[in-house]
Amino acid sequence: MRLARYVGNGRVVIDREQEPGLPEGGLLLRSLASGLCTGELMDWYMDSKVPHVLGHEVCGVVEASDDPRFPVGSLVAPHHHAPCGSCLWCSSGRPVHCPVWRSTRLIPGGLSEKVAVPASNLCDTHRVDDLRPIDAALLEPLGTVAKSIRRSRWLPGEPAAVVGLGTMGLLHLLLLDGALGIDLAEQRLQWAANLGLATDRDPAANSFDVVFVCPGTESAILRGIQLVRPGGRVVLFAPMAPGSRLPLDQTGLYFREVELIPSYSAGPEDLAEALRWLRAGRVRAEQVVSHFIPLGDLPLAYERMKRGEWLKAMVVFE
């Protein structure tokens, strides 16, 4: 079978390996659609995983099943990590810190023609027979947005802004009624405007109760802090590279009582919320995916996304 493998130094190749077998208690999927995550564009993160099969935003049809909840022929969207559901971390609402969550994965990865889903992942794997595969493949990234919004404690009517209008910023903006999208790139501002979303290049400081900062860059984070009102919350949706330092004015943060809230990945309750949004039609793939491509075009798509020329690529398997 064919798959997309990251081999280091920003390079992706289409490779071949033997397809996985059916895991005990798990599933074997034939991939239908799989997105390329912007997190997989970070060299510092990806170079630590070499060689690595890309992809964790996948929808597939069950070809073999060892679990009656997911019969052969059903459409499923699995999360690439799943918690145990019973440890201290899970019982206290922090499943992404569960040791089981960290150990689980899809085999060999979502950007592969066949994907094995181990039994340990099935507690956060969902039947999506009623959805288009290209929409169902957004379940995992949309789940991270659900967690980000939940952790922000945003309430409808609170002034909110989203810094960075890549795919993840657009997903936030589509779910935050009345929020303002902020970016410096005219192409991204225009994409958001074409979706009927409110945008601005340079809004006034101290204008928002909640600011979601999607890029993991110093300039974006400092801009988010500048934009938030006293007593407000700034959600840090993406990490900076290891060893990075922010020149924060701690005195200003203290007297303004600004909260900085990291939001990492997503757990089962977040994917459940994302699935409700997808079923309600609040997000569709065409709103946030600029290019639907065959697997063979993935190396080119990887380069185009890294250069900022493409918003998001999603592989539609033949």
Side-chain-side CA neighbours of 13 within 13 Å: the count stands at: 9
Give percent helix, percent strand, percent coil of the chain, each to the nearest 5.
35, 25, 40
pLDDT at 166: 97
Side-chain-side CA neighbours of 71 within 13 Å: the count stands at: 2
* Rounded average pLDDT over 90-98: 95
Proportion of the chain above pLDDT 90, given as a percent: 94
Span 125-138, pLDDT tens digits: 999 999 999 999 99
Question: Residue 47, class by beta-carbon neighbours within 10 Å (0-12 exposed, 13-18 middle, 19+ buried)?
Answer: middle
Q: Is the pLDDT of residue 27 over 90?
A: yes
In a 3-state reduction of DSSP, which class is residue 97?
helix
pLDDT at 240: 94
CA-based diameter of the chain, in Å?
A: 59
Q: Is the pLDDT of residue 47 over 90?
A: no
pLDDT at 71: 98
Residues 3 and 108: beta-carbon distance below 8 Å: yes
Helices (H) and strands (E) in the chain, counts: 12, 16
Report angle CA 316, 39, 113 to the nearest 5 degrees.
Answer: 30
How far apart (Å, rounded) are the C-alpha atoms in residues 211 and 205? 11
Task: Pick the more confident residue, 45 or 317.
Answer: 317
* Rounded average pLDDT over 148-160: 97
Beta-carbon contacts of 302 under 8 Å, excluding residues fewer than 6 positions away, are: 4, 10, 12, 36, 41, 313
* Rounded average pLDDT over 3-15: 94
How far apart (Å, rounded) are the C-alpha atoms in residues 159 and 178? 8
How far apart (Å, rounded) are the C-alpha atoms in residues 132 and 216? 31
Span 163-215, pLDDT tens digits: 999 999 999 999 999 999 999 999 999 999 999 999 999 999 999 999 999 99
How far apart (Å, rounded) are the C-alpha atoms in residues 148 and 138? 15
Side-chain-side CA neighbours of 249 within 13 Å: the count stands at: 11
Please say whether the dihedral angle defined by the alpha carbons of residues 15, 10, 306 and 43, taken in this order, is positive or negative. positive
| Both tokens assigned to 205 | 């400081």
Q: Is the pLDDT of residue 43 over 90?
A: no
Q: Which of 179, 191, 125 is nearest to 152 (CA)?
A: 179
Report angle CA 161, 176, 149 to the nearest 5 degrees.
Answer: 85
How far apart (Å, rounded) are the C-alpha atoms in residues 236 and 43? 19
DSSP of 23-88, one letter per residue? PTTSEEEEEEEEE--GGGG-HHHHGGG-SEE---EEEEEEEEESSTTS-TT-EEEE-S----SSSH
**Domains located in the chain, CATH noted:** 2-138+283-316 (3.90.180.10), 149-262 (3.40.50.720)
How far apart (Å, rounded) are the C-alpha atoms in residues 285 and 307? 22
Q: Is the pLDDT of residue 48 over 90?
A: no
